[in-house]
Amino acid sequence: MKAPLHIHELRGEALAPWLDALGGLRIRVFREYPYLYAGTLEYEREYLAVYQNARDSLVVLVTDDAGNALGAATCLPLAAEGPEFREPFLKAGMDVAEVFYFGESILLPEWRGRGIGKLFFDRREAHAQRLGYPVTAFCAVDRPDTHPQRPAGYRPLDGFWQSRGYAKQPGLQARFVWKEIGEENQSPKSLTFWTRQWIP
Ligand SMILES: CC(C)(COP(=O)(O)OP(=O)(O)OC[C@H]1O[C@@H](n2cnc3c(N)ncnc32)[C@H](O)[C@@H]1OP(=O)(O)O)[C@@H](O)C(=O)NCCC(=O)NCCS
């Protein structure tokens, strides 16, 4: 029998006790290809504080019976994020105030393939819909198919995202900086946004 899971929807101060668990999850999951992120809890606390402080943000957290964090998905109004997130939309002439941004979906590998990724989209989309946003968006790192770290049998998530009604927008590219596993220093990485329009 599968162990029962608990789904929490956290906002504002309710996030405070979970910040380090969330940061730890991000570090663990994004260490893997395609992000190869060599993260630190210090940076994670700063990054996640934006979600704690932003009006209308939401974190969907999955825990087991013992209260261990197994996965999470985050979202907030794009307008509440930093300039590096907003700039691609501004450059493309889009109204940042209309975009609800999905920060990440992360799940420990042993819990994947059970529909939690779909639940993460369902919950965040319902939240964005309740708030009346006409566009939801997220971004993903650009990696060539020939990347030396790509594991054999790696399955990109593009098909899943398309099935959720999202389209890749090559005109919406961001550059974020992080230290990659094996890198001496931080370096810029290119990410492309995916968007979905919601018809009122
Ligand atoms: C994104 C993520 C949370 C999805 O979680 P999940 O619970 O496995 O997703 P689901 O079980 O809801 O499956 C959703 C779809 O993803 C696809 N999928 C499932 N397992 C997959 C795998 N191992 N690799 C690639 N795609 C997979 C399938 O298309 C599935 O739809 P289907 O069941 O109709 O075929 C998880 O894969 C993850 O943590 N990935 C690493 C972090 C990441 O890259 N996040 C996205 C960018 S922030």
- 150 belongs to a structural domain: no
pLDDT tens figures, 152-183: 999 999 999 999 999 999 999 999 999 999 99
The verdict on residue 165 lying in a domain is yes
Between 3 and 4, residue with greater pLDDT: 4
* Residue 5 near residue 64, CB atoms below 8 Å: yes
Q: How far apart are CA 128 and CA 28, in angstroms?
A: 27
Taking only the tens place, the pLDDT of each residue in 109-159 is: 999 999 999 999 999 999 999 999 999 999 999 999 999 999 999 999 999
DSSP run (H or E) holding 82: none
- The DSSP secondary-structure symbol of 125 reads H
116 lies in some domain: yes
Q: Write down the pLDDT at residue 2.
A: 65
Residue 12 belongs to some domain of the structure = yes
Domain count, the chain: 1
Domain assignment of residue 100, yes or no: yes
Ligand 1 proximity of 130 Cβ (cutoff 6 Å):
no
CA distance 47 to 141: 17
Distance from the CA of 193 to the center of ligand 1, in angstroms? 18
Q: Give distance in angstroms: CA of 157 to centre of ligand 1.
A: 6
135, 196 Cβ separation under 8 angstroms: yes
Spacing, Cα 184 to ligand 1 middle (Å): 30
- Nearest residue by C-alpha to atom 2 in ligand 1: 117
pLDDT, residue 194, reads 98
Please indicate whether residue 94, judged by its CB atom, sits closer than 6 Å to ligand 1. Answer: no
pLDDT of 199: 83
Region 12-21 average pLDDT: 97
Please say whether the beta carbons of 22 and 14 come within 8 A.
Answer: no
Res. 76: pLDDT tops 70: yes
Residue of 73, 68, 102, 110 lying closest to 85 (CA atoms): 102
Residue 150: CB partners within 8 Å, gap ≥ 6?
33, 34, 143
Q: Decide if 104 contacts 26 (C-beta within 8 A).
A: yes
Domain span at residue 33? 6-144+155-197
Considering the domain boundaries, does residue 149 fall inside one? no
Half-sphere exposure of 159 (CA within 13 A, CB side): 3
Q: Is 153 in the pocket of ligand 1 (CB under 6 A)?
A: no
User: Would 107 be classed as within a structural domain?
Assistant: yes
Is the distance from the beta carbon of residue 70 to the nearest atom of ligand 1 less than 6 Å?
no
For residue 89 the two structure tokens come to 């939309």
Of the pLDDT bands very low, low, confident and very high (cuts 50, 70, 90), residue 1 is very low
- In tens, the pLDDT along 27-66 reads 999 999 999 999 999 999 999 999 999 999 999 999 999 9
Q: Is residue 127 part of a domain?
A: yes
Q: Is 160 in the pocket of ligand 1 (CB under 6 A)?
A: yes
CA torsion 29→30→32→33, rounded to 10°? 140
Q: Which atom of ligand 1 is nearest to the CA of 114?
A: 11
Entry pTM = 0.96
CATH number where 46 lies: 3.40.630.30
